[in-house]
Structure 1
Amino acid sequence: MTIPSKFLFRASLVAASVAAASSAYSAGFALNDHSATASGKALGGVAASNEDISSSFWNPALLTNAKSTTVYVSGAYVMPTMDVTLNSAKDATPALAGGAKDLSADGATNDSVDNTLVPAFYFAKPINERTVAGVSLNVPFGLSGDYGQDWAGRFHATETAIQDIALSFSLAHRVNDWASVGASVQIHKAEVVLESAVGTSTAAAGGEGIGRIEADDTSYGYSLGVALEPRKGTRIGLGYRSEVSFDFKGDVKYQNVAGVNQGLTTAGAGYQLINANVTDSIDFPSVLTLGVEQDLTPKLVLGLSAIRTGWGSMDGINIDFDSKQPNSVLTFGFEDQWMYSAGLTYAYSDKLTLRTGVAMDDSPVTDEYRSARTPDGDRKWISFGATYDFNEMTSATFAFTHVMIDDVSVDRDFTATGEEDASRGTLDADYKSSANVISVAMNMAF
């Protein structure tokens, strides 16, 4: 019997499934808390909002909300939970070494997602009465999760971490009393850490070790937006953030793999795992945001949003090694998805504004391709928040969001999923997840 060499190392190479377990706040691995103001109303009407400059992340035309030099600083503390119930797990030990070994006794983990701080910063300065320039710093995509190196599904995933930091330079112009346009260019710096077990748990088949990939890249994107108020009290906004194409470069390093022969055949021939440079190209998705706000009364505002994320651009990965190790390919199978939200803003007094909102956020992950790195489910949000104006120049904002995530199951078996799981064995597990998010912000005008 011959085991094709490219099968026996998928466990680590396939580790670049960049939509991972710990992004419990929003579907996929997008981060949507770029504004405590917007979070308090579950992003309802965010692309049409006239409240402050933080809505310019979704629609750069809203930078015209700045009437003087303005700084807005926001931070969101994301507290996810994920309980994993392990039903079964087996490694990929070759038949010539006794067949697959049951790993179920190694247990599961209920502490595989980490709390995360998501910062955001905005600066706006009017150039004249109609034009505003701005700079912002955001984290559009990110996650942090660690199953540990001893859990039963370690050949499918141990650790995944992603961070995309975007520095934007924006310009917005008020065309007339009811229309504004805006645009920005962005510099994106992204880093990825991907880790899992390699080899097999059976010493006769070479034993197991750990493979860890670290890679990064700098790329560019842009955004466009328009904001309209066709009649007093009715606001409409449309914003678009482009795809961002990354050509990741980094390296893979191994631990305890001296005896792991990844080209194992009945004759023992094959290649050894060696530290090597790696490359891969991945397109982070575009985001289209439509928002509508309607003043119901002088104090009460209704906001509605529809946000489309182009997850279909992430069709998969193809990790290339500058060694004899064969490329590793993983299919994501992501689908473009929409998020819908509705929010209310109530001016309780001259100093205090209250907000609440609900949202439905559909996951891009399909049942067919869900894995230990993508145990993603549809989400529902419940949010509330408030802003207190200390004076005409300074205000503080608070928001709380509870995210309910549909229970999902991961059922990976190479007899059904093919080569992508042939070296990782099988995994059958159930996931229950949720998240709480606390956001605070300060808005200062000069």
Structure 2
Amino acid sequence: MKTSSQNLFKASVIAASVAVASSTYSAGFALNDHSATASGNALAGAAASGADISFSYWNPALFLNASETTVYASGAYVMPSVEATVTSASGASALGSTNIGADSSSDSVSDALIPAIYFAKPLSSNTVAGISLNVPFGLSGDYGDDWAGRFHGTETGIQDIALSFTLAHQMNKQLSIGASVQLHEAEVILASAVGAPGLEGDGIIEADATGYGYSLGALFEPMQGTRIGVGYRSKVDFDFEGDITYTDVDSLNSTLTSYGLANLVDTSVSDSLTFPSVLTISLDQELTKKLVLGLTAMRTGWDSMDGINIDFDSSQDNSVLSFGFENKWFYSIGLTYDYSDKLTLRTGVAMDDSPVKDEYSSARTPDGDRKWISVGGTYDFNDMSSVAFAFTHVMIDDVNVSRDGTGEDASRGTLEADYESKANVFSVAMNMAF
């Protein structure tokens, strides 16, 4: 039965159902396009910018960028490209370790839309209340049922939707603070082939959970033209519950019985996962009256994600996939230039390191270090409305996945595969004051 908080999220989940983007955009499965404005200079200055209220995602104190009731709606269209080349694969050793062969897959990910919505209401000259809807984390991949690595994964989906309620207050001319509480709704889909070549079926896990988090932020302006911002988004604990459904496993179960192994049966599943915290430190420095330098360092606490350990409500052994994630930093530098009274231009570059150690890389997490190149801008129609736009090209290091079929992969077999990935992202947003 759905909880009341899950019912609260029902409309939001439907509205953002296209929001799960492939992991090609951001390291791990973080999604970082929550603002077309911020994307224009690769998030440089994200926790310190005075441009608009969308920067409140990284620092809730930046809801103070609104002097009037304001709505900001942003969308990022992610166009990923992933080519997976399997050099060798074999089935589970317990069922004969049959060689599967080699193949290539170039359509394992699809285009996706990432939405973000912000609403700000000034309560006084120095206090602003805000509400925002974001998709902090997302991952999506579908290799199809026939690729050589199908026992390691055919479909992977993770989606986290966060609804935040924020208060921001200006303490004095130098210091502003903000805080939010967040309600998260997460869904996970994991599918793979089960058994061995010639004696196989399919299994799919679907589970969801509700979690709670918070964010804190501060903006310090030691002198005119210098803004230093710090924002922290907490980790979020989820207790996932769902079901696993098998198809075409009758012959496989007969063989498992003959080996004295547990049969595969539809049942309930559960797992606990902790999505990571994010610390953002930024500088927004005015170089001239028209030119601003932005710097950002962002730390994601990926070590909270130790892996997947799915508990089946039956005699089946747990399904385990270790992540071995490491905490990583994201760095960016960018420039903002006031070209005219109506047009502002932006550009930036970023380094986004993957949290995945080489030895833990898998078909579900074929993750490499990334470099961003971004351009964008804002056009002001009038004092009350503007449009922001951005383009980001993401270059991703090639990745090798090597699984030897032992330990937690004993039921999956071996896999040797090479991945080449990249992505283009187009973002646009509308900002309106009332």
TM-score bracket relative to the smaller structure: over 0.9
1:134-182 Cα distance to aligned partner (Å, 9 max, x none): 0000000012210000000000010011111000000000001121000
Q: 1:215 aligns with which of 207, 225, 234?
A: 207
Whether 2:59 is the aligned partner of 1:68: answer no
- Give the count of matched residue pairs: 415
Structure showing greater relative contact order (alpha-carbon pairs closer than 8 Å, 6 or more residues apart): 1
Q: Distance in 1 between matches of 2:291 and 2:153?
A: 48
Could you say what secondary structure the match of 2:340 adopts?
A: coil
Query: 1:74-153 residue pairs with structure 2 within 5 A?
Result: 74-94=74-94, 99-105=96-102, 107-153=103-149
Q: 2:422 aligns with which of 434, 440, 446?
A: 434
Whether 2:298 is the aligned partner of 1:307: answer yes
1:311-330 Cα distance to aligned partner (Å, 9 max, x none): 00011222111111122222
**Per-residue deviation, 1:263:** 8.3
**Per-residue deviation, 1:423:** 1.1
Whether 2:158 is the aligned partner of 1:162: answer yes
1:330-386 Cα distance to aligned partner (Å, 9 max, x none): 211000000000010000000000000000000000001001111100000000001
Q: Distance in 2 between matches of 1:421 and 1:272?
A: 18
Q: Distance in 2 between matches of 1:125 and 1:405?
A: 40
Q: Distance in 1 between matches of 2:23 and 2:380?
A: 33
Tell me how large the CA RMSD over aligned residues is: 1.4
**Per-residue deviation, 1:37:** 0.3
Q: Distance in 1 between matches of 2:85 and 2:203?
A: 25
Shift in alpha-carbon separation, 1:308–1:335, aligned structure 2, 3 A: same
Could you say what secondary structure the match of 1:56 adopts?
A: helix
Could you say what secondary structure the match of 2:105 adopts?
A: coil
| Structure 2 spans left out of the alignment, 5+ residues | 1-19
Shift in alpha-carbon separation, 1:268–1:101, aligned structure 2, 3 A: closer
| Structure 1 spans left out of the alignment, 5+ residues | 1-19
- Amino acid aligned to 2:165: F
Could you say what secondary structure the match of 1:432 adopts?
A: strand
**Per-residue deviation, 1:108:** 2.4
1:186-238 Cα distance to aligned partner (Å, 9 max, x none): 00000111100001113xxxx10000000001110000000011001010000
Greater mean deviation of Cα atoms: 136-145 or 322-331: 322-331
1:417-442 Cα distance to aligned partner (Å, 9 max, x none): x3111111111111000000000000
Q: Distance in 1 between matches of 2:307 and 2:351?
A: 26
Q: Distance in 2 between matches of 1:359 and 1:383?
A: 8
Shift in alpha-carbon separation, 1:262–1:220, aligned structure 2, 3 A: farther
Aligned to 1:4: none
Could you say what secondary structure the match of 2:47 adopts?
A: helix
Aligned to 2:10: none
Could you say what secondary structure the match of 1:47 adopts?
A: coil
1:380-400 Cα distance to aligned partner (Å, 9 max, x none): 000000100000000001100
Aligned to 1:5: none
Give yes or no for contact 1:21–1:376 (8 Å, CA) kept in 2: no
Aligned to 2:354: 363
Aligned to 2:16: none
Shift in alpha-carbon separation, 1:180–1:308, aligned structure 2, 3 A: same
Shift in alpha-carbon separation, 1:249–1:389, aligned structure 2, 3 A: same
Could you say what secondary structure the match of 1:54 adopts?
A: helix
Aligned to 2:24: 24
Percent identity of paired positions between Structure 1 and Structure 2:
68
**Per-residue deviation, 1:264:** 3.7
Give yes or no for contact 2:93–2:410 (8 Å, CA) kept in 1: no
Q: Distance in 2 between matches of 1:301 and 1:411?
A: 45
- Amino acid aligned to 2:234: S
